Amino acid sequence: MTPTMPPVTDLLPLLPELWLVGAAFALLMLDLFLDERHRGLTHWLSIAALVATAALIGAGAGGQGTVLGGMFVRDTAADVLKFVTCVVSALSLLYAWSFLRERGLYKGEVPVMVLFATAGMMLLVSAGSLVMVYLGLEMLALCSYALVAIDRDSPLASEAAIKYFVLGALASGMLLYGLSLTYGATGTLDLAGIREAIALGGATPMLLTGMVFVVAGIAFKFGAAPFHMWLPDVYHGAPTPITLFIGSAPKLAAFGMAYRLLEAGVGPLDEQWRLLVAGLAVASLAIGNLIALMQANLKRLLAYSTISHVGFLFLGLAGGGAQGYAAAMFYAISYALMTTAAFGAIVVLARRGFEADRIEDFKGLNARNPWMAGLVLCVMASLAGVPPFLGFWAKLAVLRAALEGQMLWLAIVGVVFAVIGAFYYLKVVKAMYFDEPTVAEVAPRDDRALQVAFGANALLLLVLGVFWNPIMAWCQYAFAGI
């Protein structure tokens, strides 16, 4: 029997992905014919492509549905995650332009790899099959490895890239082994088929072993403790705009992968995997917060902060159910916006020869530039979970999800470490407002677009903290059918 191509109308739910991948290939070819003076065209067209993709998703272009024999699922949850992913990726490219150009690191491949990585993230959150999960994951991972190594002359960046590649390959191997055991136990690659097979046949030793490896692989990709070894070195070693990108948007994709595998795939085993996720949450909260207290480098502080925030996100996943997934998604969106602003503050203040990546570099900032200090204060307050900033409502949502999931002990652990975690963010605030400067006066980068982007990003954390209900309602609507 001769295979036939499906009608074009059957591929309409793939329209945003097809547009983004087509734009990435077109820009890759265009960059071959541009000289150094016109290389910015690739960059700004890449940002335009991401904004257009977000517009297509927001407008519902192509409609929702399941295509490619169930391998690709476009639903409300996928659309929410894709929309925010495209916005955050576009914002990361905006932050990267002047920083990389000033240091001679900018290459036309940078925005193109960001586009391909974003396409991988979009496939990952729409995966309806184990094959699509792995395809999206590897598209994201391979582009991320190359982006971290973009500064080939830096020993720190090269070391970070090698560590990222080796440990990322180990994580992918663990996940693939878990997926293989799951396939062997159920006889299908389709996530809906896996869920049905488990519901009918129950848990087997092979299936439970596969589930453990799947959870471990998810924890690696999130950077959850004790699988966090790569994260501080990569965040520290990569150029700051690259750290900004890999620390924000991929967390949304990791949540999408976790939801697809744990709920859509092995959902009937939720009593088992919820305990595993709860244990990872406690380890991440403890290790992330306690080690962050001792950091003097701001990028490493934010790296360990990421580990603690993954712990909070896992509170929502451990809570389970529609409310838990909605809370975890809300936290992932909030964290992506917060971490973009946090690394954006470093990008705005950095200069060639001055990376602004130590806490002491922020000393006396209020005396030099009160507006900039106020914006950084908004970012740190939101990361610390101070009301009425967005981070407060995100933490409250996941704590409530843990309580509703009958995990009072986990919620108590979350509250304790939320208080501990506030301290190291306050160190930055103290340095800005109460310490004498130890470096020459540093003004924000003379880049109007960058200053406007950072100002909007930081103030958005306050605005969304006041008007957070629509975002939470959007997340709840995404999981209303569970």
d(CA 478, CA 203): 28
What residues have CB less than 8 Å from 462, skipping those under 6 apart? Answer: 378, 382, 388, 389, 390
SS3 354: strand
CB 442 within 8 A of CB 368: yes
Query: CB-based contacts of 356: which residues, under 8 Å, 6+ apart?
Result: 298, 346, 349, 350, 362, 442
Enclosing H/E stretch for 147:
helix 130-148
* CA nearest to 253, candidates 89, 83, 125, 90: 125
Beta-bridge mates of residue 246: none
For 60, other C-beta atoms within 10 Å of its C-beta total: 11
Give pLDDT, residue 440. 60
Distance of CA 473 to the CA centre of its chain: 21
| DSSP 8-state code for residue 265 | I
Stretch (H or E) spanning 114: helix 109-125
Strands 72-74 vs 65-67: parallel, antiparallel or unpaired: antiparallel
Whether 140 contacts 115, CB under 8 Å: no
Q: How far is CA 10 from CA 6, 59, 71, 255, in A?
A: 6, 18, 13, 27
CA–CA dist 167, 373 (Å, integer): 37
Residue 226, preceding peptide bond in cis (omega within 30° of 0)? yes
Q: What is the pLDDT of residues 246-281, one digit of tens each?
A: 999 999 999 999 999 999 889 898 889 999 999 999
Q: Is 429 in contact with 341 (CB distance < 8 Å)?
A: no
CA distance 289 to 306: 9
Q: What is the DSSP letter of 444?
A: P
Provide the pLDDT for residue 245. 95
Q: What are phi and psi of 66, to 5 degrees?
A: -115, 125
Sequence-distant (≥ 6) Cβ neighbours of residue 99 within 8 angstroms: 239, 240, 241, 347, 350, 445
Q: Which of 216, 247, 237, 241 is nearest to 163 (CA)?
A: 237
The per-residue pLDDT for 439 is: 62
Q: What is the mean pLDDT of the chain?
A: 91
User: Token digits for 30?
Assistant: 């265009």
How do residues 86-133 score in pLDDT, each as one tens digit? 999 999 999 998 888 888 888 888 999 999 999 999 999 999 999 999
Name the one residue in this structure whose structure tokens are 């699988």: 227
Q: What are 463-469's contacts with CB under 8 Å, separation 24+?
A: 464/334, 464/337, 464/390, 465/382, 465/387, 465/388, 465/389, 465/390, 465/391, 465/392, 465/393, 466/388, 468/390, 468/393
- Full DSSP string of 313-324: HHHHHHH-HHHH
| Backbone φ, ψ for residue 235 (5° rounding) | -60, -40
**CB hemisphere CA count around 319 (13 angstroms):** 27
**Residues of the chain with confidence (pLDDT) below 70:** 1-9, 438-446, 482
Residues with Cβ within 8 Å of residue 196, at least 6 apart in sequence: none
The neighbouring-strand residues paired with 468 are none
pLDDT given at position 334: 96
Q: How many residues does the chain have?
A: 482
* Main-chain dihedrals φ then ψ at residue 104, nearest 5 degrees: 70, 25
Q: How far apart are CA 481 and CA 293, in angstroms?
A: 41
Instruction: Tell me the C-alpha to C-alpha distance, in Å, between residue 156 and each of 68, 150, 214.
Output: 43, 11, 31
